[in-house]
Amino acid sequence: MTPDEIAVTLTEFFGTESIAAIAPGSWQVDSPSFRLLVLLSEDQTWLRVLLPIVPLQEAETFLTQFLEANFDETQEARYAVYDGVVWGVYHHNMGTLVSADFANAISRLLSLHKAGLNDVFNRFIENRLRKIIQAAKQQGQSLQATMQNLDRFYAEGLMGEINQSANDREQVLATWQYQLERLWNEI
């Protein structure tokens, strides 16, 4: 791929109004919700596409889940940390880069940006649920007994919000029930 082909692909994706050539071999795409950077190395042999996802301070609890996503879900893109920000990053050798791969990488990065913390948060919660199930099973509890304990914890105020209404508590417990039933037999 040539720099001109990169510019054409960016224009096809975003239109001409939101793209700025910030230096030779460097582009910036500005939209109301993100700023995407496309950078070529000085010798123009490597391409890097960068998209900030979330401030590191908001993401620190989920760093393990970000790394797990790199291994399993992000495909050609990766999560990276730099300068207090979690970024979506794509690197590729320019000699073998084709337009379709570049376009797929941009799509993947936009998908990571749109997901923000949602996917890693859900993975984090599922890991916690698995630990709760494992602990309950080690204590010889059934699913029903585990749910009774959770119900008691909410009723006694050990879990949940201080001003939580009965309806809100029922919704939370229904979610617990669904998730525990979904994962119980896997562990």
Cα Rg of the chain, angstroms: 22
Q: Are 16 and 7 in contact (CB under 8 A)?
A: no
pTM for the model stands at 0.80
pLDDT in tens, 33-57: 999 999 999 999 999 999 999 999 9
Note the pLDDT of residue 157: 81
Query: pLDDT per residue over 82-105, tens digit each?
Result: 999 999 999 999 999 999 999 999
Please give the helix or strand (H or E) that residue 51 lies within, else none. strand 46-55
Spell out the alpha helix ranges (H) of the chain: 3-14, 56-59, 63-72, 99-115, 118-138, 143-155, 166-184
Q: Is the pLDDT of residue 161 over 80?
A: yes
CA distance 140 to 132: 12
- CA–CA separation, 33 vs 39, rounded Å? 20
